[in-house]
Structure 1
Amino acid sequence: MTRTQKTVFILVALVAVILGLTVNKVLNDQRQPTSTELIDAGIILLPQSRTVPSLEMTDQNGQPVAVDQLKGKWSLLFFGYTFCPDICPTTLAQLRQVKSELPKEAVDKLQVILVSVDPNRDTPAQLKQYLGYFDADFRGLTGSVETLQKLANAVSIPFIPADTSKPNYTVDHSGNLAVIGPDGKQRGFIRAPFNNQKLIAQLPGLVQRD
């Protein structure tokens, strides 16, 4: 083998190695996370998808929304309210931070929805203003207490309706998120408190699922 042939052979081998490493990285980046990785990030998937009840609610723009028609994207439902003193602003700030560090293709498949557990004070206009402090793309939903309870119970994130006759009342609610798939069915939960970096690492793989 001549010197030129040896040089060509070495170059070809190097290119093959580089291509192999690149393909391996791409495959690893696109693989779906394991159950263990998801659980470690606080993401709990249901063994079987759960149908979301057909309920009419109102969004932050005053438009009607059929809850069982949340399709096309992965929806993260957070049951909270705009007058919440602690859990809600912290959670929404965390979700804003997580979203800001996700790759664009993952962001395009996700939507964050605040479901108000305080319809007495959370009008569509109030929801829109409040969500604008965190992310203008975050959505808000409100409805009657009865409708809200039906939805919360259906996705296993209940809350305790407040005594609205008391001044400056608070509402007891969970910090967990309900995960709704692009088919409009509940796929699982994200447990609070959140680990931002673990969510950032695992959400891109989760939203690759059908």
Structure 2
Amino acid sequence: MTRTHTTIFILVAAVALVLGLTVNKVLSSKGQGDPAALLDAGIVLLPQPRTLPALTMTNQDGETVALDQLKDDWTLLFFGYTFCPDICPATLAQLRQLKSQLPEVTRERLRIVLVSVDPHRDTPQQLKKYLGYFDAGFQGLTGEEASLQKLANAVSIPYIPADTSKENYTVDHSGNLVILGPDGTQRGFIRAPINNAKLAEQLPGLVSGS
């Protein structure tokens, strides 16, 4: 097993452990809908909200955004990149479809944000162009590698920075989504692969339960 494969294995195992440790506590949670149905839909809620680090990033319009500005609405963070050959376009296409399956009141309270794990290539202009292929309402964030790593680690979605000296390099990253509540704290995860039919049933109750 190569060093890269070993690192990937360790990261995946760490995320699995975090998710696994929350299951029993989630089953006893109140006011968030049916816990068993949420888990069946891939929604794993944390036993306690998790505060995000105080970081500043740049959005798809080139504007400075502090993470604590991600408030008032619910947010789904997806860590990916615009040159991703498979998981990113597939996930964003699914999220576009998911939006169409949600009631209008839920759509209005849910933002979807792509956090780039490839700041070397993902300029704000590139993010905006790419996200426009899927949904004009999707938002993007990029920033310094250190800030992106700090955020990814804080929400337990680690990734492995790429060797940018290689032509057509790819970035190893998770397909899980991070759920942020309207107070800007992390409430949980949505496990990949996402199931639109089940999420469309469970997200309205989760969002309205805030």
TM-score by length of 2: 0.84
Partner of 1:110: 110
Identical-residue share of aligned pairs (%): 70
Partner of 2:73: 73
Bigger Rg, structure 1 or 2: 1
Correspondence list, 1:1-210, <5 A = 33-210=33-210
Q: How far apart, CA to CA, are the structure 1 residues paired with 2:204 and 2:32?
A: 8
Q: How far apart, CA to CA, are the structure 2 residues paired with 1:63 and 1:32?
A: 34
Provide, for residues 140-159 of structure 1, a one-character-per-residue CA deviation record: whole Å limited to 9, x for no partner: 00001100000000000000
The offset of 1:86, in angstroms, is: 0.1
Q: How far apart, CA to CA, are the structure 2 residues paired with 1:68 and 1:48?
A: 18
The offset of 1:101, in angstroms, is: 1.0
Provide, for residues 118-176 of structure 1, a one-character-per-residue CA deviation record: whole Å limited to 9, x for no partner: 00000000000000000000000000110000000000000000000000000000000
The offset of 1:32, in angstroms, is: 5.1
Provide, for residues 64-115 of structure 1, a one-character-per-residue CA deviation record: whole Å limited to 9, x for no partner: 0001221011000000000000000000000000001100000001000000
Question: How many residues are aligned here?
Answer: 180
Amino acid at match of 1:72: D
The offset of 1:33, in angstroms, is: 2.2
CA RMSD for the aligned pairs?
A: 0.9
Q: How far apart, CA to CA, are the structure 1 residues paired with 2:197 and 2:111?
A: 18
Return 5+ residue gaps in structure 2 as ranges: 1-30
Partner of 2:6: none
Moved segments of 4+, more than 3 Å: none
Q: How far apart, CA to CA, are the structure 1 residues paired with 2:144 and 2:209?
A: 33
- Partner of 1:187, secondary structure, is strand
Q: How far apart, CA to CA, are the structure 2 residues paired with 1:69 and 1:197?
A: 30
Partner of 2:7: none
Return 5+ residue gaps in structure 1 as ranges: 1-30
TM-score by length of 1: 0.84
The offset of 1:209, in angstroms, is: 2.2
